Amino acid sequence: DAGITQSPRHKVTETGTPVTLRCHQTENHRYMYWYRQDPGHGLRLIHYSYGVKDTDKGEVSDGYSVSRSKTEDFLLTLESATSSQTSVYFCAISEPGNQPQHFGDGTRLSIL
């Protein structure tokens, strides 16, 4: 993988609790993304960042927030987790100019 680390890799938590997922890159890429992957829905973009402190919403942003205080880290927060947010979450990075995205290994999140 292109220097992308997601943590934790697995998490089980309860409805109503806050959850933060971390994506760390060592590639100094400008863009970072958070996706969720669910059966029957493919990959859906949650939020993305085009620079430090610059973020925007994706297709399924409700219930999620993000922060990027430095180039290498992009955090995804579920303020109050719900069972519908049980999913596999992927982080990706890329450079501008129609460059490909490179993906992390994912975080499997289960909300009971």
Cα–Cα distance measured from residue 10 to residue 6, given in angstroms and rounded to the nearest whole number: 10
Residue 56 β-bridge partners: 48
Selected range binding another protein among 16-24, 63-71, 73-81, 93-101, rule: CB under 8 A: 93-101
Name the burial class of residue 69, with classes exposed (0-12), middle (13-18) and buried (19+) by CB atoms within 10 angstroms of its CB.
Answer: exposed
Which of 50, 69, 80, 83 is the binder for another protein (CB under 8 A)?
A: 50
Is there binding between residue 79 and another protein (CB under 8 A)? no
Contact residues toward another protein (CB under 8 A) are 1, 31, 33, 42-43, 45, 48, 50, 56, 58, 90, 92, 94-106
